[in-house]
């Protein structure tokens, strides 16, 4: 944290002159007086989705709905179309009066003549209508793909719900965005993120089809944040020419999925779900496929980030990676497990031994806590093990998974520090972090997790700076959420100012 004058030239910090009760930022000889505010090394969101974020800010958001019909009413008031498809996102049956997956029949009633797809809050489950199913050639006889589930009614008819790998049967039919649309969504998303003090982001799952559009945007637009890309690794071998050239400095890794999400029963668990005793979740990659993907990434000098929610999923990943290294294979530049949400205590040591980064989203604790307890029962004690990771020397980094969650880093920092406040029974509050640990997971370690120089307020460092109206180290924990962002500086430019 710093007060005084910060001199910035050509995107880098040139000098700092300490002075209490005042913050002045000089950028290429232009003075910005930010009053009695405080500068921090810039906040980084280590896990988000930029295109989906832009969509979220445009399409109907269904998280507040209490029923399936309320979702439809929201969409009818604000219809968002991409090509001929109707989209909305954010529904969550756990928040409904009737906590059951919806059915396509209601969609058919209101949308009989156009394809409709509503994304569940976790992004791992689609609710689609009959028109969309027919377009995608999915019928009552379609078999669920490995790592996916096509839900059917008791009579064998399609329910209109597709989970995890089954969603790929629909995704491939979505209309492709034009370059103009991509640019518009990126601008909208970056503008939104900047107001939260976010100076840099890790785009965690970029479709290689849009890589060129992304790159052209960053070379042409003044409205952007420092960004690094992870390409979707689903069919990455199809883009061998793009990957082999690797001329894009922002391209740092590939993103894989080992399992799904807790909310849609896709997270892969060692023991059955507490509230669905016949179900263990879904494994989206075989051990052989994972090893092959790791090798591919290593050969192309790309890091690996792999989604894992369940304890079985994480155990598989760690052991596959350990065996891969023990066989003498070269390691990728870095290895991250995204979410790291439910972890066996014994596996914590493997994170450290294998130098695996735990990439978490603390705000998930706030939104998923009660649902997680329903799904896991007593096993919830092995969820959200933030302090346990740090206690074993594991690198811990933070993000939001925006648009799945609110991208405000202060909400995440509050969840880290004030965990006991949200755990009313105080079952798991011992995993809370100190304020310095929480902040470092948002500005220092995210850079190290992809082998970049960390954000610092020092001469010679890139000028990524978050300006707040309070000193987070001296206020009470209860005041964290009362803190306001005054300005955001990314790559030496002010991209947001509240003054």
Residue-level pLDDT at 245: 61
Bridging pattern class, strands 38-41 and 465-468:
antiparallel
Strand 38-41, strand 23-27: pairing: unpaired
Here the tokens at position 408 are 């405000």
Mean pLDDT across 201-207: 95
Please report the pLDDT score of residue 421 as a whole number: 85
Q: Is there a contact between 324 and 304 (Cβ–Cβ < 8 Å)?
A: no
Q: What is the pLDDT of residues 354-406, one digit of tens each?
A: 999 999 999 999 988 889 999 999 999 999 999 999 999 999 999 999 999 99
Are 220 and 180 in contact by the 8 Å Cβ rule? The answer is no
The answer, yes or no, to whether residue 244 has pLDDT greater than 80, is: no
Is residue 73 predicted with pLDDT exceeding 80? yes
- Strand, coil or helix: 291: helix
Task: Please write the tens of the pLDDT for every residue from 314-366.
Answer: 999 999 999 999 999 999 999 999 999 999 999 999 999 999 999 999 999 99
* pLDDT for 223: 76
| Residue 153 confidence (pLDDT) | 92
Distance of CA 182 to the CA centre of its chain: 19
| Residues 210-228 pLDDT 10s | 988 998 898 887 778 999 9
Residue 408: its pLDDT value, please?
Answer: 98
Shortest CA distance to 342 belongs to which of 367, 321, 315, 319? 315
Query: What's the pTM?
Result: 0.92
Q: Which of 335, 291, 293, 296 is nearest to 316 (CA)?
A: 291
Model confidence band, residue 236 (pLDDT cutoffs 50, 70, 90) = confident
d(CA 30, CA 28): 6
Map out the domains of the chain with their CATH numbers: 84-171 (3.10.310.70), 180-458 (3.20.20.140)
Which of 36-40, 83-87, 423-427 has the weakest average pLDDT? 423-427
Distance between CA 44 and CA 443 in Å, rounded? 5
Predicted confidence at residue 135, as pLDDT, reads 95
CA distance 467 to 42: 8
């Amino acid at each position: 944290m710093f007060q005084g004058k910060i001199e910035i030239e050509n995107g880098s910090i040139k000098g700092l002159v300490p002075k209490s009760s005042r913050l002045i930022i000089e950028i290429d000889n232009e003075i910005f007086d930010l009053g009695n505010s405080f500068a921090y090394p810039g906040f980084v969101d280590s896990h988000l989705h930029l295109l989906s974020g832009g969509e979220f800010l445009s399409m109907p958001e269904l998280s507040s709905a209490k029923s399936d019909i309320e979702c439809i009413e929201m969409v009818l008031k604000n219809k968002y179309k991409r090509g001929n498809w109707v989209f909305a996102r954010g529904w969550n049956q756990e928040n409904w009066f009737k906590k059951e997956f919806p059915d396509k029949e209601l969609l058919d009633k209101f949308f009989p003549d156009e394809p409709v797809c509503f994304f569940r809050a976790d992004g791992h489950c689609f609710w689609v209508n009959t028109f969309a199913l027919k377009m995608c050639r999915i019928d009552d006889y379609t078999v669920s793909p490995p790592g996916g589930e096509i839900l059917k009614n008791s009579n064998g008819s399609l329910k209109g719900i597709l989970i995890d790998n089954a969603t790929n049967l629909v995704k491939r039919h979505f209309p492709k965005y034009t370059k103009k649309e991509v640019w518009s969504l990126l601008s909208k998303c970056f503008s939104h993120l900047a107001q939260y003090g976010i100076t840099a982001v890790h785009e965690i799952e970029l479709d290689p089809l849009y890589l060129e559009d992304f790159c052209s945007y960053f070379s042409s637009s003044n409205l952007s944040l420092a960004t690094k890309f992870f390409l979707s690794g689903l069919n990455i071998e199809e883009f061998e020419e793009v990957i082999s050239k690797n001329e894009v400095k922002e391209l740092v890794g590939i993103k894989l999925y080992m399992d799904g999400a807790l909310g849609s029963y896709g997270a892969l668990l060692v023991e059955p779900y507490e509230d669905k005793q016949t179900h263990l979740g879904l494994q989206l990659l075989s051990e052989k496929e994972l090893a092959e993907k790791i090798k591919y990434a290593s050969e192309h000098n790309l890091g690996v980030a792999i989604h894992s929610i369940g304890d079985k999923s994480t155990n598989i990943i760690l052991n596959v990676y350990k065996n891969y290294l023990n066989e003498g294979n070269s390691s990728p530049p870095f290895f991250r497990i995204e979410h790291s949400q439910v972890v066996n205590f014994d596996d914590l040591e493997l994170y450290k031994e294998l130098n695996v980064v735990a990439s978490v989203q603390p705000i998930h604790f706030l939104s998923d806590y009660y649902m997680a307890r329903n799904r896991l029962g007593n096993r919830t004690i092995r969820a959200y093990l933030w302090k346990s990771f740090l206690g074993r020397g594991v690198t811990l980094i933070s993000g939001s998974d925006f648009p799945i969650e609110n991208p405000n880093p202060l909400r995440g920092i509050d969840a880290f520090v004030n965990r006991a406040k949200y755990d009313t029974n105080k079952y798991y509050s011992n995993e809370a972090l100190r304020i310095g640990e929480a902040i470092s997971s948002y500005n220092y370690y995210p850079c190290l997790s992809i082998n970049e120089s960390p954000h610092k307020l020092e001469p010679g460092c890139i000028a990524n700076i978050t300006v707040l109206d309070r000193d987070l180290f001296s206020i009470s924990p209860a005041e964290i959420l009362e803190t306001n962002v005054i300005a955001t500086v990314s790559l030496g430019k002010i991209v947001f100012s509240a003054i």
